Amino acid sequence: MPLLKFDLIEGRDRNQLRELLDAAHEAMVEAFAVPQRDRYQVVTQHSPGEMIVQDTGLGLERSDQVVMLTVVSRPRKESQKLAFYRLLADGLKHRCGLDPQDLMVSIVENTDADWSFGRGQAQFITGEL
């Protein structure tokens, strides 16, 4: 049930976007142990100049291929988050050729009451999930 929100600089074609989304989903399924069909992903593409992603003094070199990913999720263990970061960076490098320096991830946690998958109900609260 994590919601993955990708912010990218425009320019990737449909196949490149699909590879990126598939690699991210595979990392999430493995690291967070969520079902394969638990997939919620949104891509927002920006014109050059609409994204500023610096390095917080870490000496990272960013390019126009930078991926800023926000993951909204129920609480996860630190070990799961660390595994996700590693699997994601590896998967994006392997499948998309993305330099790991061009990947920034922020995980935002929420609770069961913060999710409704439809029908105006909170399925984690009602017991449907």
Enumerate the active-site residues. 2
- Sheet with 3-9, strands from edge to edge, namely 40-46, 3-9, 67-73, 103-109
Contacts of 21 (CB under 8 A, 6+ apart): 6, 41, 43
CB 28, CB 4: distance < 8 Å:
yes
